Every structure is written in C-alpha cells, then in structure tokens.
Amino acid sequence: MMSSMRTTLTLDDDIAAKLQELARRRRVSFKDVVNAVLRNGLTSPRQRSKAEQPYQTPTFRSSFRPGVDPLRLNQLTDELAGC
C-alpha cells in the first residue's frame, strides 16, 4: 500500500478546471486525477524533451537571390512581352 501525504496545492484556474473536467469524465476523484497527471508527467520526461526541440528546416543552395520566386519568373516574362 502506498502512503500518502496531505498538502495544500494552489492551482491556476484553467488547470483546476481541466483537472475537474478530467475527473468528471473518468468518474474518479479530483485527488486521483491530480496524482495520475503528476505521475504521468514525472515518469515521461523523454517524450516531452523530444517535443520541445524546435523543428529545423534543412537548407539548400539556390542560384536565385533570397526573395526571388522561380515559379513567378514566367509571369514576369509574360508581363514584359505584353508591353
């Protein structure tokens, strides 16, 4: 049997509302939901660290200057031919 510790915890209103909704949906006590959420957060740090890493776009060399859209070059040619 696990021992328990009684403590006071101050939650932000939005977090308390989410936890209460989760407890209602699962039909368990608020205490059980708080313990489950904390336990899950404390035991899965590897999943969070992967998600927190920023996505990096691979770079490549181009013969065009930044800001030149090669897909619009034909449009420019058409506009110049119409003059």
Q: What is the pLDDT of residues 22-55, one digit of tens each?
A: 999 999 999 999 999 999 888 876 665 566 677 7
User: What pLDDT does 59 receive?
Assistant: 83
Confirm if 48 and 42 have CB atoms less than 8 A apart. no
Which two structure tokens, joined as six digits, stand for 80?
């110049």
Between helix 45-52 and helix 30-43 the angle, nearest 10°, is: 70
Q: What percent of the chain has pLDDT over 70?
A: 87
